[in-house]
Amino acid sequence: MVIALNLIMIVMYFFFSRMNPDLTIFGIDSSYFEFCIIGLCLQMVVGTSLGTVCGNIFNEISAGTWSSILPFFNFLEYSIGTTLAGVFISSFSIFIAIGFTYIVAGFFFIITFREILMIFFLFILILVSHMAISMLFAAFTIYYQKNSSLVSTLYHLTKTFTGIIFPVSLLSGFPLILSKSLPLTYGLSSLQSILFSSTIDFRTYFYNCMILIVLTLIIGLVAWVLFSYSLKNAKKHGKGDWY
């Protein structure tokens, strides 16, 4: 069902792109469909990494298996394992989407090996930064024994304000401030620069990568502190048996 809905969304933007909206005035030398397909594919993985850790822990709590793993629970190991498993599955949607767009629209990129390495490193940073956010929400899930609706809210804010379906340069005022506070804005900006620009701006690329690293470290540290407190609270009050 997820794959089917993703394809429907891509088809919708494909036909919308037939209206030929002009993106060159925003400094992006590409068709609208070329612009949005990158963000649409990436948001499949971002959504998975954003909701996997806290979602899986809530499933453990509600299913009654939380108490059995609590004595030897390794937060970092659990986070990496569940995130990679979810991303591996959601990546099939990306390959199917790219294949679909190649067959229907003749859409493809010509990139060098160096650009592939840069994209891969950027992809890892985007994945880890959103995993850290999911770990932060997971700390609250452990403490309150409830699944937070903030994950869905943040996901929709990410889809709206990070340049997935329209350029960030269209934003101003508070929406632009909100955009600059979301990790995907920096990752997607560099990714679009690599794919659409004739020359790569390495200074901007490394700047965006450093911002992603700093955000990940800060969010990850806060998540770890809150998790440690939540886990101690769960063990102290026997919340592992609440489901």
29 — pLDDT class (breaks 50, 70, 90): low
Using CA atoms, how far apart are residues 79 and 132, in angstroms rounded to an integer?
Answer: 9
**In 3D, which of 8, 34, 216 has the Cα closest to residue 128?**
216
For 167-182, how does the pLDDT look when each residue is reduced to its tens digit (9 = 90+)? Answer: 787 788 888 899 999 9
For 130-156, how does the pLDDT look when each residue is reduced to its tens digit (9 = 90+)? Answer: 999 999 999 999 888 888 778 888 888
Kindly tell me if the per-residue pLDDT of 19 is higher than 90. Answer: no
The per-residue pLDDT of the chain, averaged, comes to 83
**In 3D, which of 171, 232, 198 has the Cα closest to residue 29?**
198
Kindly tell me if the per-residue pLDDT of 220 is higher than 50. Answer: yes
Question: Going along 42-161, which residue ranges are E strands?
Answer: none
End-to-end CA distance of the chain: 28
Stretch 190-194: mean pLDDT, rounded? 86
For 80-135, how does the pLDDT look when each residue is reduced to its tens digit (9 = 90+)? Answer: 999 998 888 777 777 777 777 777 666 666 788 888 899 999 999 999 999 999 99
In this prediction, residue 24 carries a pLDDT of 57
pTM: 0.83
- Secondary structure (DSSP) of 21-39: ---GGGT--S-HHHHHHHH
21 — pLDDT class (breaks 50, 70, 90): low
Stretch 170-195: mean pLDDT, rounded? 88
198 SS3 class: coil
Using CA atoms, how far apart are residues 15 and 12, in angstroms rounded to an integer?
Answer: 6
In this prediction, residue 25 carries a pLDDT of 46
